Amino acid sequence: MITENNIAPRRLHEQVLSALVERIVGGEFSTGSGLPSEAELCSTYGVSRSSVREALRVLAEKGLIEVRHGLGTRVTSPEKWDFLDALVLGARRRCGGMAEVIGSLLEALRIVECEVAALATERAEESHRMRMEMALQRMHSSQSDPEAFADAAFSFHQALLDATKNYVLMRMADPIRELLQYSILTTSSKAGNLSRILNDHDAIYRAVSDGDAAGAREAMREHLQMTAHDLNPAGTPIGVG
């Protein structure tokens, strides 16, 4: 139970929000169904009515629920959810729902990240390249720990995004993190897979360091193509045209 004794009041709604996102994405509350009443939610999570109302307000902003006059609060269909939201994507990954959206996610990232790599080549400063190099070192030393490896891989992609100095592109950080977590943890048991991913990232880094925008774009494209193949080795690579 969430209690007001161990969580700062201003953060209580975030705890309720996270729990409700997990329950909605996990299917406990299906499309069109109503959520428990405010009183029931207050009792379940041990929080005040204001914390519950704030959590519901944010759920509505993310598209997971809507308030219908006379019908109360209803869960919306998945296509109305904020696809790029970190809480939604994280819940999908934990609840086994990533397979439903991974093709669209990979396709979008193939379009975006290839150009991110090329743009980073043109704009990266020494600090960005150092962050990439440090991330590669962490990836190399954590090949026996897929979760740590995924965290290090995300640090690499975060440095690439930051190097573009484009705040719209930086918005892609959350879906990239979830894709990395999902793909690496899903395929880490395949012999040599983490080593291959490390080599992919090293190729991207070398192209960025050499100022080779076309090479960085191509290295990223090949990496995402292999990722798609790893996630669907028996059929047509998902998310790759």
Residue 166, C-beta contacts closer than 8 angstroms, at least 6 positions apart: 119
Domain-wise residue ranges, the chain: 9-80, 98-231
Question: Rounded to whole angstroms, how far apart are CA atoms 43 and 48?
Answer: 9
When the pLDDT of each residue in the chain is averaged and rounded to a whole number, the result is 88
Contact status, residue 196 vs residue 184, Cβ threshold 8 Å: no
CATH architecture of 9-80: Orthogonal Bundle (1.10)
Q: Which residue has the higher pLDDT, 15 or 130?
A: 130
Contact status, residue 119 vs residue 164, Cβ threshold 8 Å: yes
Convert the pLDDT of each residue in 55-109 to its tens digit: 999 999 999 999 877 677 899 998 899 877 888 888 888 888 777 788 888 888 8
Element (H, E) at 72: strand 72-75
Complete DSSP assignment for 118-169: HHHHHH--HHHHHHHHHHHHHHHHTTT-HHHHHHHHHHHHHHHHHHHT-HHH
**Band of residue 237 on the pLDDT scale cut at 50, 70, 90:** very low
pLDDT at 162: 97
- Burial string for 171-209 (b: 16+ CB within 10 Å, else e) reads ebbbbbbbbbbbbbebbbeeeebbebbbebbbbbbebbe
pLDDT at 240: 46
Contact status, residue 113 vs residue 127, Cβ threshold 8 Å: no
**Is 3.40.50.720 the CATH classification of the domain at 98-231?**
no
pTM of the model: 0.76
